[in-house]
Structure 1
Amino acid sequence: MMFLFQFLNRLAALLIFTLLFQTAFAQSEGKIESKLEKHFQKGNLEKCKKAAVKFKSKEPSSVIPYYYLSRIAYAHYCNFDNTPDKKQYRYLKQSTTHLNKISETYPEWVDSLKIGYKQYISSWNDSAFVSSHVKSAVKQYAVIFSDTLDLYWGYYKTKQAAPELIVEYQVPKTDSLRTALLSFASKWVGTPYSWAGEDPKTGFDCSGFVLYVYKHIGIDLPHSAQLQSELIGKVLSLEEAKPGDLIFFGRRKGNKWRTQHAGIYYGNENGEPKVIHCVSGGVSIDGNNSSWDYYWKDLILFVKRLPDLQN
């Protein structure tokens, strides 16, 4: 009986010690993550990298340093000009080196990397020339994300010229046009994502969804987020947006920008903007949630109002 009592006491002490250790470790992780995020947001990528590597050596089981090393590599990748470059691709590849370690904790970040790979492949693909870096990216993408569909698009997708903006039908009031646009867009919430898709039967990609919705109200758009962002229209801030305006996401360098994603401004709810767009999980209306806060809101380039939706 005494032996059992001593055993239970030791077990209880061990459990308490384990709990205290885990609590202290969690607090330590929180402080480190806060420090890394501060460096990253200020653009101190080298300081952030050194701190992440140091933390990784101390706590190799933590996913936090791997997550920041991935973000740092991807930030370097995004800082390049729009030229297919071996060093640029190396940074993109580095951003997915430890994807298996961070996928469960940071699924939204994994989704963004998947989009980044697709953008790299589609941006530099040409029917006459495909660089070795793009070919490597296609193969790497297929291995990392277990998705072979894009393998074919990476090699055979051709560039599209931006057509002139054509309006096939008019309604007296732009408000009616906006209402029709949003009502039609909402019908397709839940439609799955499909690379280069522009039909609800097979799925959409981001620019394909915008193309399909705008076509319903008589406005033809190119099937390219970059080309859509370059169309003639009034450039606005998010605060000036009206439901139905186009909203673009990506990276800016000086007067140039690289559009990575397109969507439609859906409105404002309790001071929070909402966007209807097609992401890796399909067509959704996003606002004040993890996906928006975690990724999209920090990548907003601008809102654009096309001529036929201007008052």
Structure 2
Amino acid sequence: MSKKSKRPFRPAGKVSRLTFTDEERADPELEKPLKKAEKAADKLEKAQEKIPKKKHINKERTFDVKTGKAKVRLYFEETDKPKPPSKLSHSFKTIPQRELLNKIHKEIREGEQDNVGVEAAHKTEQGMEFGARRIHSAYRSHKLKPYRNLAKVENQTVKVEVNYLYKKSLRDNPKVSTNPISRWQQKQAIKKQYMANRYGKGAKSPHQTAKNTKTAVKKTTSTTEKITQFVVRNKKGILIALGIGAVLMFLISTISSCSIMMEGGFQSIVGTSYTSEDEDIIAVDDDYTLLERALQARIDNIETEYPGYDEYQYHLDEIGHNPFTLASYLTAKLQVYKRSEVQDELRALFDEQYSITTHEEIEVRYRTETRTDTWTDEEGNTHSDTYTVEVPYDYYILHITLKNKDISIIADSHLTGEQYEMFSVYMETQGNKSYLFEGNIYAPNMGEYTDYDIPPDALTDPAFAALIHEAEKYLGYPYVWGGSSPSTSFDCSGFVCWVLRESGVYNISRTTAQGIFNQCAIIPPGEARPGDIIFFTGTYASSGAVSHVGIYVGNGMMIHCGNPIQYASVNSTYWTQHFYAYGRLD
């Protein structure tokens, strides 16, 4: 493994920046690099401000001349929180634990066939472990984001500030700029001196940095001139030697390593790619979607299939799947598959993913009935008395429950260890065919989740501030069909229900996107405000008109459970085409 040079960050909480004289600001040659340097420094300050802070108590001892006594004052000082351990070091810590877990799972798997209860419990445990690993990874990514951003901005700042010093040195030493070798050595010397002054033990002020840079440039210029003179005097011989060396190096490297490099690169691409034809992968996913639509049609007609009930109560997970998860599962298990060859496998997987059950409940209820009693007295007069009574009767309720077990959970328990490793690789690379399911919002986002800074004035509303505080805890969490809590991750409606309930803004039980819509008052788009709910239709084959839901945060943005949980513009082409309505919960 090659070692990379490491550069320390700027001191925590501090951002030093170059300063410029009025003469430098007025120089047209320096105007462009100067502005870039100032802009980079501004970005660095903002990135530094977003690093999480912690407070600790400091002591300050003072001496009162009049009383002759010493005083100690306690005060809080705010410093940056240190960056959490790297993913690599974290992985090294967990390797022994994973090896132990794999060994335990293997031993259980060998004997579980004799006991159905043990097998079911084992599969459930493996699924929970897998979900927990995915969620923990997403949570770590979210925590590390400000540090990653600071490192990125830090590198950009170093680049533009070194470039400014280089341009300034060219202005002060015009003779050097005519020679390519001189220019390269000059820039390296400037960068070395810059890094020493900025990050070394004896870090100097910006003015001292400029002074040291100027000295380094003069030394470089003198050395370079000597080298240049030698090259000019021996130009012909040097060119012949370089030419022969280049030819020899090319022949040797071509013979010894070209075939190895090509073979290794080819195997790397093939080993992480879907091996079936694109047409078959897409057609198989369409077939699976047809099975899901048939299931949805059955749910839509459940009251015809089971007539005569007083009430039907639906407890439904959302119907749908991540197309890359299906393709990764089939590739890991079958390697290469054709549409006509996997229909039985699709049906078995579908029956494993979805389970629909019905349950009859009989409640004893009471209705009010009016009754009249008539009688004749001793004198032959007829009398009547009208009154009401509560009469018991049986009230029949049919509960319809649909469970959606994510294919990734099934993969963890249905694939061998080697197959599951390949499944994970395919999921990570999307089979090197990310173009297959473009436009499908439930296909995983290979980049980082989209973040957004809520305008401060919107956060003056306590209810909305509480809503966002809860929602942003789960940025980066993956989309999991049927998920409704941090332990399982979320689907779109599960996320919105959880945030509304846990923030204390609105007490809502777990329901679908359509169920949330049914509890809202419809709001015209022009009157939508932060904290309202936004609904979409036609994103997949849903039971009702509403198929997707998010929380509107103002300025044309929403936070929602796509894949992963992230911010998104509601004015994009996709969301505009599928927009349904805004709603408000009172």
- The alignment's TM-score, normalised by the length of structure 2, stands at 0.25
